[in-house]
């Protein structure tokens, strides 16, 4: 109840105050900031996936600007020889305005990454986007078999069926590559598991499906209760270290991250940057009520 209250208040807090607590989750506002943060992570043996912040745009001019910004990011990252790939949110490229235009924008980004033998991950957004994002992934995967991957969300009741239905894309040339996360959006009980235990149980089922079927998973979680069962599955299916990776968000649970690295597993950090940091950071703060509490205290202690 109290956490819900904190969550509801966050969007109305002064931006400057939210920034104080958000900056640990954001690499900065410019491409140079993202390059620097990524090079720092690479120096620690951590790969990155970079994300230009923003989503749910309102006109297609913004979509074109966002596509151009991604092309610039790819040039900068490749020039700096960063060990990393790219993450995109389709609504940032116009998915909910014109899916065809969105597809063309993302296709251009994937084609640019493919020129460098690199990879673009399509983030999964809220439930009205899921079918559209799977369709887009299918189309892109047919043209760029090695250069595109998708995110799936363990909290959605449909996910295991989606994984099964997408198996027709898996073949000798083109392995499937998914990021598995719990899911961050507010979804109804009809379509999503709500209880922590239920979500974790399905997370592990989805991961087992991937490992059993030779899919490359990005195991994206900060939940220590999911890490040991993931290790167990990796061992059970005897999966080599180059056939999966762990993934975490920038600034979140660095000690757990280090403990995974110390065991010799691949780790990739999601590096968000850009001027549009407010929505992203309030979502992260909602996940971390302790941090949100600090903001509230700071607000009322003046
Ligand atoms: P939780 O049970 O939420 O958290 C476990 C523990 O992690 C918490 O107890 C806490 O100790 C710690 N923790 C979690 N979040 C924070 C935080 N913000 N600050 C401090 N500690 C924290 N979701 C989507 O819907 N679509 C996506 O495309 C997507 N991409 C993602 C990419 C990556 C690399 C990662 C790591 C997550 C992504 N997510 C995405 C978000 C994800 O769905 C979860 O909401 C988020 O990762 C929290 O779930 P968790 O597995 O860490 O478990």
57-88, pLDDT tens digit by residue?
889 999 999 999 999 999 999 999 999 999 99
Which ligand 1 atom sits nearest the alpha carbon of residue 196? Answer: 2
Which string of b and e fits 249-262 if b means at least 16 CB within 10 Å? bbbbeeebbeebee
pTM score, whole prediction: 0.93
Which residue ranges have their beta carbon within 6 Å of ligand 1? 123-124, 151, 153, 179, 181-185, 220-223, 247-249, 252-253, 270, 284, 287-288
The pLDDT of residue 23 is 83
Q: How far is the CA of 61 from the centre of ligand 1 (A)?
A: 31
Average pLDDT, the chain: 92
Q: How far is the CA of 222 from the centre of ligand 1 (A)?
A: 6
244-286, pLDDT tens digit by residue?
999 999 999 999 999 999 999 999 999 999 988 887 777 777 7
Q: Which of 148, 163, 244, 160 is nearest to 201 (CA)?
A: 160
Domains of the chain: 1-26+277-302 (no CATH), 34-276 (3.20.20.220)
Pocket test for ligand 1, best of 41, 220, 248, 267 (most atoms within 8 A of CB): 220
The pLDDT of residue 172 is 76
- Say yes or no to pLDDT of 302 above 50: no
The pLDDT of residue 89 is 94
5-54, pLDDT tens digit by residue?
666 776 777 777 778 778 888 999 999 999 999 999 999 999 999 999 98
Q: Which protein residue has the closest C-alpha to ligand 1 atom 12?
A: 222
Q: How far is the CA of 79 from the centre of ligand 1 (A)?
A: 30
Nearest-10 Cα torsion for 24, 30, 34, 37: -50
Residues 6+ apart with CB under 8 A from 78: 116, 118
Q: Kindly list the distances between the CA atom of residue 64 and the CA atoms of 58, 70, 181, 275, 293, in Å, as whole numbers in the listed order.
A: 12, 10, 28, 17, 38
Which ligand 1 atom sits nearest the alpha carbon of residue 225? Answer: 5
The answer to whether 34 touches 69, Cβ cutoff 8 Å, is no
Q: What percent of the chain has pLDDT over 70?
A: 92
């Amino acid at each position: 109840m109290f956490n819900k209250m904190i969550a509801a208040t966050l969007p109305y807090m002064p931006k400057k105050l939210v920034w104080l607590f958000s900056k640990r989750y954001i690499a900065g506002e410019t491409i140079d900031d993202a390059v620097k943060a990524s090079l720092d992570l690479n120096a620690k043996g951590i790969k990155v996936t970079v994300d230009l912040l923003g989503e749910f745009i309102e006109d297609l001019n913004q979509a074109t600007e966002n596509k151009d910004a991604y092309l610039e990011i790819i040039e900068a990252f490749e020039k700096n020889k960063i060990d990393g790939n790219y993450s995109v949110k389709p609504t940032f490229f116009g998915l909910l305005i014109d899916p065809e235009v969105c597809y063309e924008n993302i296709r251009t980004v994937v084609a640019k990454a493919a020129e460098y033998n690199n990879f673009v991950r399509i983030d999964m957004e809220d439930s009205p986007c899921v079918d559209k994002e799977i369709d887009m992934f299918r189309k892109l995967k047919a043209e760029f078999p090695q250069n595109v991957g998708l995110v799936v969300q363990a909290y959605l009741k449909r996910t295991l069926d989606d994984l099964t239905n997408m198996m027709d894309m898996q073949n000798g040339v083109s392995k499937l590559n998914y990021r598995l996360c719990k899911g961050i959006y507010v979804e109804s009980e009809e379509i999503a598991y709500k209880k922590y235990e239920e979500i974790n149980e399905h997370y592990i089922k989805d991961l087992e499906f991937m490992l059993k079927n030779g899919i490359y998973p990005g195991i994206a979680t900060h939940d220590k209760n999911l890490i040991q069962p993931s290790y167990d599955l990796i061992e059970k299916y005897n999966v080599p270290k180059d056939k999966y990776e762990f993934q975490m968000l920038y600034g979140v649970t660095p000690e757990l991250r280090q403990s995974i690295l110390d065991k010799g597993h691949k780790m990739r950090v999601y590096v968000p940057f850009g001027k549009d940091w407010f929505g992203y950071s309030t979502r992260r703060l909602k996940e971390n009520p302790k941090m949100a509490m600090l903001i509230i205290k700071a607000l009322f202690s003046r």
